[in-house]
Amino acid sequence: MALNRILVVAEFFAGAPLAASLELLTKARQLADTVEAVTWGDDPQSVAAPLGAYGARRVYHAGELGGKLPGVPVAAAIAALVQSDGAPDAILIPTTYDGRDIAGRLSARLDRSVLTNVVDLVADDGALVSEHAIFGGTEILNARFTGPAPAIFVVRSKSFAAEEADEATTPEVIAVTPGELGAADTATITERHVEERTGPKLDEAAVVVSGGRGLGEAGRYQLIEELARLLHGAPGASRAIVDAGWVPYAYQVGQTGKTVKPTVYLAAGISGATQHMVGMKGAKHIIAINKDAEAPIFSIADLGIVGDVQKVLPKLVEALKARS
Partner 1 sequence: MNIAVCVKQIPDPASPGKLDPTSHTLDRTGKLVLDPSDEYGVEMALQLVDQAGGGEVTLVSMAPHAEVSGLRTALAMGAAKAILITDDTLQGADALGTAKVLAKALGRVGADLILAATESTDGYTGTLPVQVAELLGLPSITFAKRVRTENGRVLVDRQTEAGYDEVECPLPAVVTVTAGVVEPRYPSFKGIMAAKSKPIDQLKVGDLDVPADQVGWAGAGQEIVSVAPAEARKGGEVVVDEGDGAERIVAFLEQLKVI
Ligand X SMILES: Cc1cc2nc3c(=O)[nH]c(=O)nc-3n(C[C@H](O)[C@H](O)[C@H](O)COP(=O)(O)OP(=O)(O)OC[C@H]3O[C@@H](n4cnc5c(N)ncnc54)[C@H](O)[C@@H]3O)c2cc1C
Q: Site residues (CB under 6 A) for ligand X?
A: 212-214, 216, 238-241, 252-257, 269-271, 273, 275-276, 279, 289-292, 295, 308-310
- Quick check: 191 binds partner 1 (CB under 8 A)? yes
Q: Which is nearer to partner 1, 58 or 112 (CB)?
A: 112
Closest approach of partner 1 to the CB of residue 233, in Å = 9
What number of CA atoms fall less than 13 Å from residue 314's CA on the CB side? 5
Closest approach of ligand X to the CB of residue 299, in Å = 12
Residue 128 one-letter amino acid: L
Closest approach of partner 1 to the CB of residue 228, in Å = 12
Cis preceding-peptide flag for 150 (omega within 30 of 0): yes
Closest approach of ligand X to the CB of residue 302, in Å = 18
Q: Which is nearer to partner 1, 165 or 300 (CB)?
A: 300
CA dihedral 145, 150, 152, 157 (to 10 degrees): 110
Q: Is there a contact between 215 and 269 (Cβ–Cβ < 8 Å)?
A: yes
Choosing from 45, 66, 111, 166, the residue that interacts with partner 1 (CB under 8 A) is: 111
254 binds, among ligand X, partner 1, none (CB under 5 to 8 A by kind): ligand X
Q: What are the φ/ψ torsions at residue 133 (nearest 5 degrees)? A: -90, 115
# chain residues binding partner 1, by CB under 8 A? 91
**For residues 12 and 70, what is the distance between their CA atoms, to the nearest angstrom?**
12
Query: 214 Cβ partners below 8 Å, 6+ apart?
Result: 268, 269, 270, 271, 290, 291, 309
Q: Is there a contact between 254 and 278 (Cβ–Cβ < 8 Å)?
A: yes
- Quick check: 208 binds partner 1 (CB under 8 A)? no
- Quick check: 293 binds partner 1 (CB under 8 A)? yes
Stretch that binds partner 1, among 26-34, 50-58, 81-89, 138-146 (CB under 8 A): 138-146
Q: Which of 244, 231, 236 is nearest to 211 (CA)?
A: 236
- Quick check: 305 binds partner 1 (CB under 8 A)? yes
Stretch that binds partner 1, among 23-31, 43-51, 165-173, 315-323 (CB under 8 A): 315-323
Q: Which of 108, 316, 132, 117 is nearest to 226 (CA)?
A: 316
Residue 211 one-letter amino acid: G
- Quick check: 113 binds partner 1 (CB under 8 A)? yes
Q: Which is nearer to ligand X, 75 or 313 (CB)?
A: 313
- Quick check: 302 binds partner 1 (CB under 8 A)? yes
Q: Is there a contact between 207 and 229 (Cβ–Cβ < 8 Å)?
A: no
**For residues 205 and 262, what is the distance between their CA atoms, to the nearest angstrom?**
6
The Cβ of residue 262 has, within 10 Å, a number of other Cβ atoms equal to 26
Q: Which is nearer to partner 1, 125 or 167 (CB)?
A: 125
Residues 157-186 that bind partner 1 (CB under 8 A): 182-186
- Quick check: 270 binds partner 1 (CB under 8 A)? no
- Quick check: 104 binds partner 1 (CB under 8 A)? yes
Q: Which is nearer to partner 1, 139 or 167 (CB)?
A: 139
Q: Is there a contact between 47 and 61 (Cβ–Cβ < 8 Å)?
A: yes
CA dihedral (182, 116, 128, 37) positive or negative: positive
Q: Which is nearer to ligand X, 168 or 306 (CB)?
A: 306
Stretch that binds partner 1, among 22-30, 47-55, 113-121, 211-219 (CB under 8 A): 113-121
